Amino acid sequence: MAIQKELHTEEVRGRAKPTINLEDSLVDIRDNEEIIVETSGIDLDYLDELQFMEEKVTIRIEPSADRYAPRFVDVAVNGRIEWLEVGKPIGVARKYIEVLARAKSDTFITIAPNTNDENPVNLISRNTSQKYPFSVIKDPNPRGYQWLTTVLSQ
């Protein structure tokens, strides 16, 4: 088994979100959404995915520099809640790690290029960052690294 190096969430950058142009108010800024209805029964790939998401992975949620930062982070999947302690290595099912990886916050900066123009256009620049940055200390599954980088980049 190959030795994996520690993976930190800040090392994987997600796709950059486009700047919002307020001149065109009819633009839909959401990603294209598609609902797929599954009509077949349960297959082995689905069962394999469920087993993969239940595997224990050792992570460490990085402490925040905020004065009143929480000591625990609550993460819920299908009504089941895990309280994850910040700053200590903990073993947790991969399905909860996906929730942490997808927990992101956006900050916005309004850019007003020239207010003296006849029709000034404001632009809004967005920056996305992890809500709870964490490091993966040990992942026993070789598929885990690729899975996490895919989730983080979405």
Per DSSP, the residues of 82-118 read: EEEEBTSEEEEEHHHHHHHHH-EEEEEEEE-S-TTSS
Q: Which two tokens stand for residue 14?
A: 């997600």
Q: What angle do CA 59, 9, 100 make, to 5 degrees?
A: 60
**Phi (first) and psi of residue 133, to 5 degrees:** -60, 140
Domain positions in the chain are 7-23+55-153
DSSP code, position 32: P
Are the beta carbons of 105 and 133 closer than 8 angstroms?
no
pLDDT bucket at 101, cuts 50 / 70 / 90: very high
Q: Tell me: pLDDT of 64 over 80.
A: yes
Q: pTM value?
A: 0.68
Q: What angle do CA 41, 57, 64 make, to 5 degrees?
A: 120
Q: Tell me: pLDDT of 27 over 60.
A: no
Residues contacting residue 24 through CB under 8 Å, at least 6 positions apart: none
Between 72 and 21, residue with greater pLDDT: 72
* Portion of the chain with pLDDT greater than 70, in percent: 89
Q: What does the alpha-carbon distance between residue 89 and residue 87 come to, in Å, rounded to a whole number?
A: 7
Q: Which two tokens stand for residue 93?
A: 């099912």
